[in-house]
């Protein structure tokens, strides 16, 4: 830590951080466009101009090293005038189309224009007009809104490891465009739209779907893989519209991949809301009573899956299973990727497609035998009942008779209609809890959607089965005593 002065006030800041981030930690916001804590510094936008004591010219804060005794001024008339000039140049050709721009409400250009710009424009000539283009499988670019901050180009080269975008022409004619003939097709097109500080880069999947101020947002965690990226959920009318990255500088989390970001349809459509018996809709009392009766007569049962469930649900399920008085085998690891350290597909996405494998291992929701041994035992009929929690039973238990299978699912799948019993459960977004990611970080998520009335979590289902099973056994014992 070092001591620096900002606008005459002394602060103690982290010398390893960029001056913009260090000042933010001290409660002082320095406006910027091109700077990003995970990207190289280029100083292209000139928005972060400041005065440094002992240096006659204004300097860019993003390229100023934090050192002991540094003294800067961020609010002088000279700095204010420089920022107003920068904003005037940036807005010279920028269209005034905020009412139809998807970035409105979370646009840095809007924010900096209100805080640092002038209230009027001296630009009277016709603004340039370049048609927008589709430059990716889920990405469009509006050249007229682009302020040439170069963030997108740096992000691709430095984080994704590809060079699909480049800066073409000079001065007034400068544009960001495709550097290759093929459109962008990587896993971070959503991140490109995020990292753009204006509405120049946008995703087709979310285009014109909703205004950002209509969303109800909660802190959450991405369920797409074991990385466990922190997110904000954006919900409107109890439907999940999108995920946005929740920045955590301490844990180096800034971005989301597309596979996790756009995986929202399963929360909004084709949900399983009815109990099923033999492929036909049934009622909860019938299904749960029959399952409880089977448990009471069972010698050995298996519970497969659980790596999609929260740490709290897994702990509760384990407690319920321990009270059943039946030999129970649990195994959350149903794929080969879960039995080893996850490998990186790219800089965020991993080979383990489940958010809580690590949490399941730590909770003891695993077996010594492994899934192959359990599958073999199941095919031999060694289990009286097999519960499958949000996994593909047809793949895991191929050849095992459906008479012994109970599916716990959030969605109406083909497996749910073929199993002996199917039980609807809440999605993670309809609960609060935590997932433990591949690094062992326990990360909380908040409830962001309302579950349909009467829908239970997986933990609540097993708790109910425990209660019904114990009551049934108690009644049988009382009846046996009464018959003596």
- The structural domains of the chain, with segments of one domain joined by +, span 2-75, 275-477
pLDDT tens digits, 383-439: 999 999 999 999 999 989 899 999 999 999 999 999 999 999 999 999 999 999 999
| 310 exposure class (CB count in 10 Å sphere: 0-12, 13-18, 19+) | buried
CB atoms near residue 132 (< 10 Å): 13
H/E/C letters for each residue in 207-276? CCCCCHHHCEEEEEECCCCCCCCEEEEEEECCEEEEEEECCECCCCECCCCHHHHCCCHHHHCCECCCEE
What average pLDDT does the segment 13-31 reach?
A: 94
Residues ≥6 apart with Cβ < 8 Å to 327? 299, 300, 301
Residue 484 pLDDT: 61
Do 168 and 130 meet the contact criterion of CB atoms below 8 Å apart?
no
Residue 298 pLDDT: 94
Residue 478 pLDDT: 75
Q: How confident is the model at residue 483 (pLDDT cuts 50, 70, 90)?
A: low
Residue 365 pLDDT: 97
Residue 15 pLDDT: 92
Percent of the chain scored above 90 by pLDDT?
A: 91
3-state SS class at 44:
coil
Identify which of 112, 176, 104 has the alpha carbon closest to the alpha carbon of residue 147.
Answer: 176
DSSP letter for 37, please.
Answer: T
To the nearest 10°, the Cα dihedral for 370, 374, 375, 377?
A: 140
Identify which of 412, 426, 411, 413 has the alpha carbon closest to the alpha carbon of residue 458.
Answer: 426
pLDDT score of 481 more than 80: no
CATH fold of 2-75 reads: Ubiquitin-like (UB roll) (3.10.20)
Do 80 and 46 meet the contact criterion of CB atoms below 8 Å apart?
no
What average pLDDT does the segment 228-250 reach?
A: 96
Architecture of domain 275-477: 3-Layer(aba) Sandwich (3.40)
pLDDT tens digits, 85-117: 999 999 988 998 999 999 999 999 999 999 999
Residue 322 pLDDT: 95
Do 460 and 313 meet the contact criterion of CB atoms below 8 Å apart?
no
Q: What are phi and psi of 36, to 5 degrees?
A: -150, 135
Which of 84-98, 112-126, 287-301 is least confident?
112-126
Residue 482 pLDDT: 66
Quote the mean pLDDT of the chain: 94
Go through 68-101 and write b for each residue having 16 or more CB atoms within 10 A of its CB, e for each that does not. Answer: eebebbbeeeebeebbeebbbebbebbeeeeeeb
pLDDT tens digits, 433-480: 999 999 999 999 999 999 999 999 999 999 999 999 999 988 877 776
* DSSP result, 391-428: S-HHHHTTTS-GGGEEEEESB--HHHHHSSEEEEB--G
Residue 206 pLDDT: 94
């Amino acid at each position: 830590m070092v001591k620096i002065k900002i606008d005459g006030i002394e602060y103690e800041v982290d010398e390893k951080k960029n001056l913009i981030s260090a000042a933010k930690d001290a409660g002082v916001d320095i406006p910027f466009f091109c700077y990003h804590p995970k990207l190289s510094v280029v100083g292209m936008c000139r928005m972060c101009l400041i005065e440094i004591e002992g240096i006659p010219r204004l300097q860019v804060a993003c390229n100023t090293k934090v050192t002991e005794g540094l003294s800067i001024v961020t609010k002088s008339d000279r700095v204010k005038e420089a920022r107003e000039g920068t904003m005037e140049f940036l807005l010279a050709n920028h269209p005034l189309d905020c009412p139809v721009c998807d970035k409105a409400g979370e646009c840095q250009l809007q924010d900096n224009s209100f805080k640092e710009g002038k209230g009027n424009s001296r630009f009277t000539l016709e603004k340039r007009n370049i048609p927008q283009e589709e430059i990716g499988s889920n990405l469009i670019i509006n050249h007229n809104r682009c302020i040439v901050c170069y963030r997108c180009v740096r992000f691709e080269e430095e984080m994704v490891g590809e060079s699909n975008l480049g800066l073409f022409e000079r001065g007034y004619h400068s544009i960001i465009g495709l550097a290759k003939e093929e459109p962008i097709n990587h896993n971070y097109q959503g991140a490109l739209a995020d990292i753009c500080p204006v509405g120049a880069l946008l995703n087709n999947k979310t285009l014109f779907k909703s205004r950002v101020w209509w969303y109800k947002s909660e802190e959450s965690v991405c369920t797409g893989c074991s990385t466990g990226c922190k997110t904000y959920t954006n919900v409107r009318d109890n439907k999940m519209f999108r995920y946005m990255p929740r920045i955590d500088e301490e844990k180096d989390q800034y971005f989301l991949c597309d596979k996790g970001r756009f995986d929202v349809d399963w929360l909004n459509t084709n949900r399983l809301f009815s109990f099923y018996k033999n492929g036909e809709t049934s009622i909860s009392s019938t299904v749960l009573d029959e399952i409880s009766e089977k448990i009471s007569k069972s010698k050995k049962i298996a519970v497969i899956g659980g790596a999609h469930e929260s740490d709290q649900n897994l702990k509760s399920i384990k407690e319920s299973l321990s009270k059943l008085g039946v030999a129970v085998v649990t195994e959350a690891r149903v794929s080969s990727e879960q039995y080893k350290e996850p490998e990186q597909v790219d800089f965020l996405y991993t080979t383990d497609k489940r958010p809580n494998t690590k949490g399941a291992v730590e909770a003891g929701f695993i077996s010594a035998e492994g899934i192959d041994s359990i599958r073999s035992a199941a095919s031999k009929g060694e289990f009286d009942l097999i519960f499958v929690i949000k996994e593909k039973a047809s793949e895991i238990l191929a050849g095992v008779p459906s008479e012994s299978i109970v599916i716990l699912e959030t969605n109406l799948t083909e497996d749910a209609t073929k199993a002996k019993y199917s039980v609807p459960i809440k999605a993670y977004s309809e609960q609060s809890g935590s997932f433990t990611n591949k690094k062992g970080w326990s990360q909380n998520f908040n409830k962001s959607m309302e579950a349909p009335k009467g829908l239970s979590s997986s933990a609540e289902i097993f708790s109910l089965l425990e209660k019904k099973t114990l009551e049934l056994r108690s009644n049988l014992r009382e009846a046996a005593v009464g018959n003596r």
